[in-house]
Structures are given as structure tokens and as C-alpha cells.
Structure 1
Amino acid sequence: MNMNYAGSGIYWNNYFYAIEVAYTPGEGYTLDVQSDEIGWINPSGTVEVAKGASQTFTFNPTAGARVKNLTVDGTPVTYNSDLTYTLQNVQKDYTIRLNNEPLPGVVIAAFAAESGGGNSVKFSDKSLGDANKWKWDFGDGTTSSEQSPLHPYAQAGTYTVSLWARSDLSQSQVVKGSIEVPMKEGYTFSNV
């Protein structure tokens, strides 16, 4: 029997009889699919898959990074050279993770910020790679070359903060983020 999918959940055979195929949530499995901060995988998040079905994923690291590994339930798997992977004949729930790393000699700038009390903000360098030089522009006319500075702002307001990070072998990479001062206690900003 030759069957065609018509796009509506209705399959047709050579005799043009309609067969209704329905997927009922709960009759399949859940895939927890995530990438680290320097790449993407699609689909991602919580993915529902019917029992026995297959699911194909496409993925890519961001510029300046490469795939370190793709794991299924913590075990590295072999993926295709076109950066796809197909999980076949799904018979249980799975956890899928895409792990990337900077290319040798590349720094990918990133930072986090949290309240330092009052109008002060504690900035944390979260750059990937081997950064050993930093330049912060706090958006208020002041700068710092510390790795993770505590900066007091003179006034409340919204500021665009820039971090340039580099190593002795790399070019500077810049990342920007907006913060609100004063930051609420317990609030954390991250562009990672």
C-alpha cells in the first residue's frame, strides 16, 4: 500500500479511503533539548515525540566557536557533517545537549551583573576562551581594566555597559548589555 501525507493528519491510500491518524499527548515521550550559550539546536526546549518515531535536530555553534560534542543522556553521539542528528525509534524520554567551545585563540566576550548594594553593581567576566585583558565601559563615562569590577554609579538610571575581552593572541571581542540602576536585590543580569 502506497501512502501519502496530505498535511492534515489524514492519509490516503491508492483506493482513496481516508484513514484518520491522531496523536494523543501522553502517548509519546519527552525530549529535553538544550544548547549551551554559544550555539543553538533546533528544535529545542521540551519536544514531544510519538512512541517509535524519529526526531531530527539541526544545530550550529556561534561565530568563533565549534561543536565540542552532542550528548544523549550524557553519552556523546556521532552526528552528521552537515550538523544534523536523528534520534531514531524513540522508546523513552531523553536529554539532549549541544556543547560548544571557542576555537583555539578565540575569546567570546560575556558578562553578568548583580547588585553591589545601593547604586553599585558587581560585574563578573564570563568570557569564554583564555581572556587576560579586559576593558569595561560602564555607560556613565567611566571605564575599568579589572576582570570583574564593582562599580558605583552616581545616579539611578539605565546604562549600556560594554566589555571588551581578549587574549595575547586574539582580537578584542565586545559585548554590550543594558542594566537598570539601582538593581533590585537578588536580580542578576547575564548576557551569557
Structure 2
Amino acid sequence: MTAPLVCAQAIDAPGPATARDGRVFQIYQFTPETMPHIDGKNSDWDRVPAAYRCGTAELNDTEDGHGTDIDTNDIDVQVTLGWVKGLNRLYVLYEAYDDFWDFERFNPEGYLNDIFELVVDGDLSGGPFIYNPLVPEARKWGASAAHVRNHLAFSGYHAQNYHIFTPPVRGSWTLIWGSQPWIATFPYAHRAYSFDGRQGEAGKLTLEFWVTPYDYAPVDGPELAKESRLVENKLIGLSWSVLDFDGGKRDGHYNLSHDTRMVANASYLCAFRLMPLERDQVPDFRADWSFSLIENREQTVAFRDESVGDIESWYWDFGNGDFSTEQHPLYQYPESGVHYNVTLEITGAGKSDKKTRFWEVMIP
């Protein structure tokens, strides 16, 4: 890997009480047209500026003695995060060089191989999410089924921990440290790898994946789960660790949080902001709009123009023969219990564009 890129341009404005003194890192916004294809290749990420890329220089080995003095000839990693408006998914590109890839074995410490450990707290709620301090029995771990149930009873409900195998082995790509292994399966997650190394040798790995963050992810399954809603400028909690093993011995536990308590307590995660589109992602001229029902005014809808460009006129077709030329019209429908196809057409500077939402405007 080339000289490590770091989040040197990360936002340093005051943030929540999270790791790294409240420093706020950035998550790049893709458009639906440019979002990554999960194929284990990094070309989809070429458009992402260096300010979004977190390299080895951001990590700290807080357990195995390296500190921040990490030899990039030993291990060198880079993590880039993305999101798409309207999709509650976090996209991750993990690129890693290791001078000794260790996998296809089960070592005494209980790890299958080299690990990329990702922890996500989608609503930045913080607090312990592996052991519940109010349930002492949940801290017990042993061979019995009762101990296993107690240990996992509340794990991962409000923040999720993914022990991702690099590379995957025995048909598995990640171990969920929690009570809900379903979060690692499609359609709640997806992944792809490319890898050029062999056991005990140096090599480079590219891991591309997305996961769905949850405010509530119970053992019962996705039917009762609540996805974390990802919206522009929202802060979420997130951090990662790289567990490097060389020949059955752990060579480092490098983490972005600079505190290994991040693996079990979301208060030790870093703050990340879901960023607006970069300028090169914003079209010159595009129609777009949103709507909301007005409380205490029957059958009344507030339409909001969210178009982009040098706009001279707006034409709203409310789907029932009525129309408006206001930019942000307020309209009372004469009928209830009906779905409407509403269209906004914009014109300006010799251009025009339309955006229709089919059956989305429903009048209760």
C-alpha cells in the first residue's frame, strides 16, 4: 500500500462526548447512480476525496505495545465509509496489507484468523451493548447453555459488533458478537473480497461490504427490529479494530477509538457525520421534491421543492387535474383514501426536468 492516507481533514468542530475528544469524522455520500457495486474492487471509490479515508496513522495499539508507532511494513490499512440517501446502509471499503496473513486455523485465543472488527451505533445512544451491567448473570461466560444464553441475552440490541474474517474461512465472512446473527445475512448485509495472499505470506486484501445499522436488533429476528434512519448531517457512533495474528500469536490490536472498550460499550466509539453530497456529485439541473401531511388540517399536503439548478418556473400536477405554479405549494385534496401520482416540472436556462412520485401521496 502507498503512504497511508489519514482523516487529516476530518471535522474538528465540537461533537458529542465520544472517543477522540469528540472529533467528528466523515462518511461520504454517494448518489444512487454512483453507489458502489459490491464486487471486491475499489474502483467505485475513486471519486471519494482523501479527507474521507482513514489510514494506519489514525490507529492506536492500546493492548499489545505498539501505541501509535505502527510499522506499515508489518500492517497497513485504510478504511473508507459511504452512504446513500434513502438507504439505511453503511458502505465500507477495507483495504489492508499484511506481511503475514494468518487464517485457516483456530488459535487458543479463540479467533479464527486476522480480524477487522467493526462496531456501529446508529443513533449515537452510547452505553454498554455486550454486557448489561444491570444483569450480573449476563457477564458470566462458560461452557453451559445457560451461560451462553446469559452472555448473549442483551448483546448487540442497540449497537452491533461485526468480527469480520479477513479473508473469510469455512464459509463464513463474519462472527456477530451479539444475539442476532441474522444481521450479517442478505438482505441486511452484503460483502465481496479480493485477496492475493496465502497463509503465512504477505499480501493485499480488499473487502467491500455494506451493513444495516439498527437502533433495536433483537434476537427474535428482523420483523421486530428498528433500522437506524440515516439522514444528511446526522451523527452516528462508529469505530473499528484490526486484530493482527502472526503464526498463532496476536501481533497487535489496532483501533480507531484508541480505547479497546469500544468493542463492548458504544460510549467509546467515534462520532461520524453523514455528509452532504460533494460538489461533483450534485447535478447542474434536476427536479426533486418531498411532501408532508399537515396536522389538524384534513387532507392537506405541504409540498416542498428540493430541486437543483437555476430554476425559473415550477409546475405541480397534483394527480387529480389540479395544478400550482408556486415553488412550495400547500394543497387540500377533495377526497380521502386515495393514492395520487404527483409530478413537479421545473424549467430554467433553456432546460427542463420532471420528477413523479407514483402512489406515494396517500390521503388518509
Deviation at 1:119, TM superposition (A): 0.2
Q: What amino acid is the match of 1:42?
A: P
Write out per-residue CA displacement over residues 43-93 of structure 1, whole angstroms, 9 at most, x where no aligned residue.
47xxxxxxxxx8514269xxxxxxxx6235547xxxxxxxxxx86427667
State whether residues 28 and 48 of structure 2, in contact with CA within 8 Å, keep that contact through their aligned partners in structure 1: no
**Matched residue, 1:115:** 293
The 5-angstrom pairing of residues 1-192 of structure 1 reads: 35-37=29-31, 39-43=33-37, 56-58=42-44, 70-71=48-49, 74=52, 88-89=95-96, 99=278, 100-102=281-283, 106-116=284-294, 117-156=297-336, 157-167=338-348, 169-177=349-357, 178=359, 179-182=361-364
In structure 2, stretches of 5+ residues that fail to align are 1-25, 54-92, 98-241, 243-254, 257-269
TM-score where L is the length of structure 2: 0.28
Tell me how far apart the structure 2 counterparts of residues 132 and 36 of structure 1 sit (CA, whole Å).
28
Alignment RMSD: 3.5
State whether residues 40 and 59 of structure 1, in contact with CA within 8 Å, keep that contact through their aligned partners in structure 2: no
Tell me how far apart the structure 2 counterparts of residues 88 and 33 of structure 1 sit (CA, whole Å).
16
Distance 1:158 1:59, change over 3 A: farther
TM-score where L is the length of structure 1: 0.51
Q: How many residues matched?
A: 120
Distance 1:139 1:120, change over 3 A: same
Structure with higher helix content: 2
Percent identity of paired positions between Structure 1 and Structure 2: 22
Q: Any idea what SS the aligned residue of 1:40 has?
A: coil
State whether residues 107 and 170 of structure 1, in contact with CA within 8 Å, keep that contact through their aligned partners in structure 2: no
Tell me how far apart the structure 2 counterparts of residues 70 and 170 of structure 1 sit (CA, whole Å).
32
Tell me how far apart the structure 1 counterparts of residues 309 and 32 of structure 2 sit (CA, whole Å).
12
Distance 1:114 1:164, change over 3 A: same
Q: What amino acid is the match of 1:158?
A: H
Distance 1:147 1:38, change over 3 A: farther
Greater shift in the superposed pair: 34-43 or 122-131: 34-43
Structure with higher strand content: 1
Distance 1:42 1:176, change over 3 A: same
Distance 1:108 1:138, change over 3 A: same
Deviation at 1:36, TM superposition (A): 4.3
Tell me how far apart the structure 2 counterparts of residues 59 and 88 of structure 1 sit (CA, whole Å).
12
